[in-house]
A and B are shown apart, each in its own frame.
Chain A
Amino acid sequence: MIEKDGVAPLEMVMKEFPDDKEVLINPKAIIECYKEIPCNPCETSCPFDAIHVGEDINARPKIDFDKCTGCGICVYNCPGLAISVRQLQGDKAILKIPYEFVPRPEKGSLVNVVNRNGDVITEGSVKRVQEGKNQKQTCLLHVEIHRDFIYDAITIEVPRGS
């Protein structure tokens, strides 16, 4: 239960995805902001007007998948690191996630991909390590995984107590 351990159950997660999975042939931002907090950088940073929070900044963000291009700018700007970009490519899926740890994994390296509970669920391959224009310290990792994990995968394993 998310209020007890911070883990969003899958049925909750699925609601944030486009109803038609085929929409994900193009990259789309998936926003996992499940509770009202006073915050709206996702809305104000989106160059395509795809995210709407509204005047009351406590409202949960709503995304328009028709407008979202999956550029990842909101991923950099979300203070809660609650946004990722997901895309299906054949039997693979590409995940763009915010990453704020050192060392950063290198392009081409294999990484352990975890679910929301922190369990390693699969291996992924780092396709790109992207730095934002104004957000140098948060990088965007492009990780390729098998398409079966498109809902479950959330980030990569970070070495503990290094």
Chain B
Amino acid sequence: MRIKNHPILSFDTEETIEFSYNGKKLRGVEGDTIASALHASGIKKLSESIHLKRPRGFYCAIGNCASCNMVVDGVPNVRTCITPLKPGMVVNNQVGKGKVYEE
């Protein structure tokens, strides 16, 4: 799903940044956000609605709408559309509102 040839832009397509998604190893490129790296791997469902558990993807890609919130390195409600991907990140689908403090 990565763009290889583009008339205006050139992109780095070498996937060198390893991270985990729901326990699976995935790779992204330098400059990716978490959401763009997941999308490039074909993963569109990022979260679930809180009550009806309906699948949700990103919507705004500017960190505004909360549709892309996930648990990243144990922290819930991370806006994955504006959070840069870093090596070794542990990304998981979020259940419900997410737990800020473990009881």
Interface on A for B, CB 8 Å cutoff? 100-103, 137
Residue numbers in B under 8 Å from A137 (CB-CB): 7-8
Decide if the interface of chain B is mainly helix, strand, loop or mixed.
Answer: loop
The reply to whether the CB of B54 lies closer than 8 angstroms to some CB of chain A is no
Residue numbers in B under 8 Å from A101 (CB-CB): 7
Across the interface, name the chain B residue whose C-beta is closest to A137.
B8
What is the distance, in angstroms, from B15's C-beta to the closest C-beta of chain A? Answer: 22
Q: How far is the CA of A102 from the CA of B8 in the complex (A)?
A: 9
* Interface residues on chain B, size class: under 10
Tell me the chain B residues, 1-15 only, with Cβ under 8 Å from chain A: 5-8
Q: How far is the CA of A137 from the CA of B5 in the complex (A)?
A: 13
Q: How far is the CA of A16 from the CA of B46 in the complex (A)?
A: 51
Across the interface, name the chain A residue whose C-beta is closest to B8.
A137
Residue numbers in A under 8 Å from B5 (CB-CB): 102-103
Q: How far is the CA of A102 from the CA of B3 in the complex (A)?
A: 12
Q: Which of B5, B6, B7, B8 has the most CB of A within 10 A?
A: B7
Write the B35-55 contact mask toward A (1 if CB under 8 angstroms, else 0). Answer: 000000000000000000000
Q: How far is the CA of A100 from the CA of B5 in the complex (A)?
A: 12
Residue numbers in A under 8 Å from B7 (CB-CB): 100-102, 137
Across the interface, name the chain A residue whose C-beta is closest to B4.
A102
- 9 of the cross-chain contacts (CB-CB < 8 Å) are A100-B7, A100-B8, A101-B7, A102-B5, A102-B6, A102-B7, A103-B5, A137-B7, A137-B8
Q: How far is the CA of A16 from the CA of B58 in the complex (A)?
A: 45
What is the distance, in angstroms, from B32's C-beta to the closest C-beta of chain A? Answer: 22
What is the distance, in angstroms, from A39's C-beta to the closest C-beta of chain B? Answer: 20
Write the B65-98 contact mask toward A (1 if CB under 8 angstroms, else 0). Answer: 0000000000000000000000000000000000
Q: How far is the CA of A46 from the CA of B73 in the complex (A)?
A: 56
Which A-B residue pairs are the 6 nearest by beta carbons?
A102-B5, A102-B7, A137-B8, A100-B7, A101-B7, A137-B7
Q: How far is the CA of A132 from the CA of B21 in the complex (A)?
A: 45
Q: How far is the CA of A103 from the CA of B8 in the complex (A)?
A: 12
Residue numbers in A under 8 Å from B6 (CB-CB): 102
Q: How far is the CA of A103 from the CA of B5 in the complex (A)?
A: 8
Q: How far is the CA of A103 from the CA of B6 in the complex (A)?
A: 9
